[in-house]
């Protein structure tokens, strides 16, 4: 089984600098490991069944992160900008994945930092996809995937190629030591540019300011008199064109 684990594909919102005018400055901020990235690597190792795990990242972050956790090699798209929109990042990741032959599964953290990238990646690849994944195992040529839906769990059987968006249920338990990190830096790294993926560079997105959307003032109806409250509610709904 050949598995790609996407890591360090988003930036930590806490690292952004927000100006007094609401502008957002990402200069100097690198891609970060989300809480879900270690969980994605753990699930990859659980389903690899002696196959190959490949790490995939973008930008200028540390490429050895996945290698230190079991990836045999790493692919880096070095000139992919980190301050573009989610659809562009998803397209870059999908193009890099298509270059690898025989991929059975792609695992990516179901990160709250940028839900759009995960959705864009799933759409670009056009593969079956499962979100909210907390565990997986191989069984008779299929993947038996458990995902969390609120307080309930759902078990699915899927066949590859498939995208699994992983949601961490706990912090990383067995972080690699210095020995593993040093050994990881000797593993193969394939460095690509957008031209290798037949993609053109996209201009960075400039944030000129942020603000909350305009919303009409809320109207509170006194519910001490149910009949009067109901009449006021019906009148308000008619005035707003709801009824």
Per-residue pLDDT of the chain (243 residues), as tens digits, is 899 999 998 888 888 888 888 778 878 788 888 889 999 999 999 999 889 999 999 987 678 999 999 999 999 999 887 666 788 889 999 999 999 999 999 999 987 888 888 999 999 999 999 999 999 999 888 899 999 888 888 999 998 799 999 998 888 888 899 999 999 999 999 999 999 998 876 655 555 666 666 776 677 888 888 899 899 989 888 887 777
Whether 121 and 93 have beta carbons less than 8 Å apart is answered as: yes
Q: Burial of 190 by CB count in 10 Å (0-12 exposed, 13-18 middle, 19+ buried)? A: middle
Whether 58 and 93 have beta carbons less than 8 Å apart is answered as: yes
DSSP lists the bridge partners of residue 157 as: 144
What is residue 202's predicted lDDT score, i.e. its pLDDT? 63
pTM: 0.78
* Cis peptide preceding 161, ω within 30 of 0: yes
Where on the phi/psi map is residue 92: left (φ > 0), alpha (ψ -120 to 50), or beta? alpha
Comparing C-alpha atoms, which of 58, 54, 59, 30 is closest to residue 40?
Answer: 54
Cα separation, 240 vs 73, whole angstroms:
59
Tokens found for residue 148 = 């969390």
Question: How many Cβ atoms sit within 10 Å of the Cβ of residue 147?
Answer: 21
Comparing C-alpha atoms, which of 4, 48, 13 is closest to residue 32?
Answer: 13
């Amino acid at each position: 089984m050949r598995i790609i684990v996407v890591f360090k594909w988003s930036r930590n919102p806490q690292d952004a600098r927000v100006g007094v005018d609401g502008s957002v400055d990402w200069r100097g901020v690198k891609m970060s490991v989300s809480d879900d990235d270690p969980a994605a690597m753990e699930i990859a190792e659980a389903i690899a069944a002696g196959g190959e795990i490949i790490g995939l990242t973008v930008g200028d972050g540390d490429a050895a992160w996945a290698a230190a956790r079991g990836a045999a090699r790493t692919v880096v798209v070095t000139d992919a900008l980190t301050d573009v929109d989610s659809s562009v990042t998803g397209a870059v990741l999908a193009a890099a994945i298509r270059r690898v032959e025989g991929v059975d599964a792609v695992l990516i953290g179901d990160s709250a930092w940028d839900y759009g990238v995960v959705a864009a990646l799933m759409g670009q690849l056009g593969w079956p996809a499962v979100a909210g994944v907390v565990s997986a195992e191989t069984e008779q040529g299929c993947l038996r995937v458990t995902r969390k839906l609120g307080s309930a769990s759902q078990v699915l059987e899927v066949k590859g190629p498939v995208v699994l968006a992983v949601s961490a249920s706990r912090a990383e338990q067995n972080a690699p030591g210095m020995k593993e990190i040093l050994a990881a830096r000797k593993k193969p790294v394939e460095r690509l540019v957008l031209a290798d993926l037949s993609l053109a560079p996209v201009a960075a997105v400039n944030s000129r300011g942020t603000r909350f959307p305009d919303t009409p003032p809320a109207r509170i109806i006194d519910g001490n008199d149910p009949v009067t409250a109901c009449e006021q509610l019906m009148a308000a709904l008619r005035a707003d064109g709801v009824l």
